[in-house]
Chains A and B, each alone.
Chain A
Amino acid sequence: MSESGLKARTAASGLRGALADGRFVVTAEVAPPRDADTEAIARKVGALRGWVDAANVTDNQGGNVRMSSLAGSILVQRAGLDPVMQLTCRDRNRLALQSDLIGAAALGIRNVLLLTGDHPTLGDHPDAKPVFDLDGVQLVWTARTLRDEGTLLSGKRLGVRPSWLIGTVENPFAPPAELRARRLAKKVAAGAEFVQTQYVFDVDAFARWLRPLRDEGVTERCAVIAGVGPIRSRRMLSFLTGTVPGIHVPESVRRRLAGVPEQRVEEEGRRVCVETIEALAALDGVRGVHLMVFGHEDEVPDIVRQAGIRQATKGGDDAD
């Protein structure tokens, strides 16, 4: 468990504040509802507030239609958490991407997470036209150009520039393994300042991916936030490994989950998650974790407490 994670402070708020203070960052994923229910997000945020530094609002995750990430981010903000707005290239061309980025800045969204997005054939509208006018790297590059150069892709000048923190994603476990760290380095050259990774279940493979990034100083310029989450059932395990692209669960974890009776899988899955967080927090170059709990936001405080990575800033018990 990391020393920095245990430092309790009344610190600057949000993701940016936590990174600036050098605290061990905790973020959580918040999927917007499939309807216009404004309370759904407020409830999730209520469970997370005080336990995470920011809530990451997904953009039609998996190619399934939800409330827009921009609207979701505003609702997260209203409910009292710092949103990280995800934006994908799947559904928007370069005009829409830039206008949404500008709109997010105008509405006070301080962090954006820019990605290519899943292909629509994997989602609930497989008959949709895939856009992919830009790719994820180009979108990061575009965002940095808007903010730092103050120009659009067209070269036209912006008046008031956006000021969000720019994030990206990477999957340390997908082939070609050797290219993955270099691909993140490219995204950092494009302008990424933090990266959220795919689910980590294999800490050794993650450490192998991280090492060259640390050696070449990439982790100094881009905060690595490792994706984690509990496997709650055998069904979820087979869903994650069979249906969701790009998730790697090593044999050792599969064996652990197979070795307990079905009713204890949830408990064992959470233990695996907590141990993974502890191992990640001990790795040099990991700045935080991103929790993916799929609607079980109420479990976040327990996971965070058990992993000993943070004291609650409001409400909860002291860590450890």
Chain B
Amino acid sequence: MGVERIRPFRPRIPAFLAYALHALLAENAFYRRLAAYVERRPVLYRWFTAGERVTKERLFGCRMCGQCALPTTGYACPMTCPKQLRNGPCGGVSPDGSCEVDRTQQCVWVTAWTRAKDAGRDADLDLLQRPVDNRQWTRSSWINYWQGRDEGLAVAYDDDDPHPALAGRR
């Protein structure tokens, strides 16, 4: 990755559609086997990843971090935040909701909040998102997800576990 100009991206499909698509692609035995099959074949993996990139770039401004947070952020990509914040907005959001780095764009977390809340999924934004594994850039997040590698990406806190452990993934 070079140092690119990262700017908040407004998703091109409504959240309800994204949630519906997710349900179609939800992890199951079939997808798990498909993912393992694709991953064993480098050429096929490249084509598969290219397809994922094109689709998600178009729809969500995907930058291919390989560890997709979209299902927990109202399908607004936090990696398009100039600070790549995975845990919510910074304190610099302008009163009109625009990004402190580019005032012509809406803060991606304002977008995420609005979309998740409208879908009744605002509790997703309370999840503690673990640091990304920078080795996964350019890898397919679908293949990672189907093989259960995303399970530790985020963790909920509650009265029983007020301070979840940070370790546990790696």
Q: B-contacting residues of A (Cβ < 8 Å)?
A: 89-90, 94, 116, 118-119, 121-122, 129-130, 132-138, 141-142, 144-145, 148-149, 151, 153-155, 169-171, 173-176, 178-179, 182-183, 185-186, 189-191, 198, 245-246, 248
Residues of A within 8 A of B84 (CB): 132, 135
Shortest distance between the CB of A11 and any CB in chain B (Å):
29
A134 to B90: give the CA distance in the assembly, Å. Answer: 13
Residues of B within 8 A of A118 (CB): 92, 100
Residues of B within 8 A of A132 (CB): 83-85
Q: Is the interface of B mostly helix, strand, loop or mixed?
A: loop
Tell which of B83, B93, B110, B166 touches A135, judged by Cβ atoms closer than 8 Å.
B83
Q: Which one of B17-25, B60-68, B129-137 is at the interface?
A: B129-137
Tell which of B95, B164, B166 touches A248, judged by Cβ atoms closer than 8 Å.
B95
Q: Is B42 an interface residue (CB 8 A)?
A: no
The 10 A-B pairs with the shortest beta carbon distances in the complex, nearest first, are A245-B92, A171-B91, A137-B87, A189-B157, A245-B100, A176-B113, A174-B93, A135-B85, A145-B166, A246-B91
Q: Given that A122-B100, A186-B157, A248-B95 are contacting pairs, would A149 and B87 also be in contact in the complex, using a CB cutoff of 8 Å? A: no
Shortest distance between the CB of B159 and any CB in chain A (Å):
10
A268 to B129: give the CA distance in the assembly, Å. Answer: 44
Residues of B within 8 A of A122 (CB): 100-101
Q: Given that A138-B86, A149-B167 are contacting pairs, would A133 and B94 also be in contact in the complex, using a CB cutoff of 8 Å? A: no
**What are 27 inter-chain pairs, A to B, with CB distance below 8 A?**
A90-B83, A94-B131, A119-B83, A129-B3, A135-B85, A137-B88, A138-B131, A145-B167, A149-B167, A155-B170, A171-B91, A171-B93, A174-B92, A175-B94, A176-B89, A179-B125, A183-B89, A185-B126, A186-B126, A186-B128, A186-B157, A189-B128, A245-B92, A245-B100, A246-B91, A246-B92, A246-B94
Q: Given that A137-B128, A186-B157 are contacting pairs, would A174 and B167 also be in contact in the complex, using a CB cutoff of 8 Å? A: no
Q: Given that A153-B166, A182-B125 are contacting pairs, would A138 and B92 also be in contact in the complex, using a CB cutoff of 8 Å? A: no
Residues of A within 8 A of B97 (CB): 175-176
A154 to B83: give the CA distance in the assembly, Å. Answer: 23
Residues of B within 8 A of A178 (CB): 113, 117
Residues of A within 8 A of B167 (CB): 145, 149, 151, 153, 155
Shortest distance between the CB of B66 and any CB in chain A (Å):
15
Hey, what's the 0/1 contact readout for B95-118 against A, CB within 8 Å counting as 1? 111001100000101100110010
Shortest distance between the CB of A231 and any CB in chain B (Å):
18
Q: Is B43 an interface residue (CB 8 A)?
A: no
A130 to B3: give the CA distance in the assembly, Å. Answer: 8
Residues of B within 8 A of A175 (CB): 89, 93-97, 107, 110
Q: Is B71 an interface residue (CB 8 A)?
A: no
Shortest distance between the CB of B88 and any CB in chain A (Å):
5
Tell which of A129, A145, A153, A182 touches B126, judged by Cβ atoms closer than 8 Å.
A182
A186 to B117: give the CA distance in the assembly, Å. Answer: 17
A153 to B165: give the CA distance in the assembly, Å. Answer: 11
A129 to B6: give the CA distance in the assembly, Å. Answer: 12
Residues of A within 8 A of B41 (CB): none
Shortest distance between the CB of B18 and any CB in chain A (Å):
19
Tell which of B92, B96, B125, B163 touches A189, judged by Cβ atoms closer than 8 Å.
B163
Is A179 in contact with B89, judged by CB distance below 8 angstroms?
A: yes
Is B163 in contact with A134, judged by CB distance below 8 angstroms?
A: no
Is A190 in contact with B165, judged by CB distance below 8 angstroms?
A: no
Is B165 in contact with A245, judged by CB distance below 8 angstroms?
A: no
Is B107 in contact with A154, judged by CB distance below 8 angstroms?
A: no
Q: Which residue of B lies closest to A141 (CB)?
A: B166
A174 to B129: give the CA distance in the assembly, Å. Answer: 21
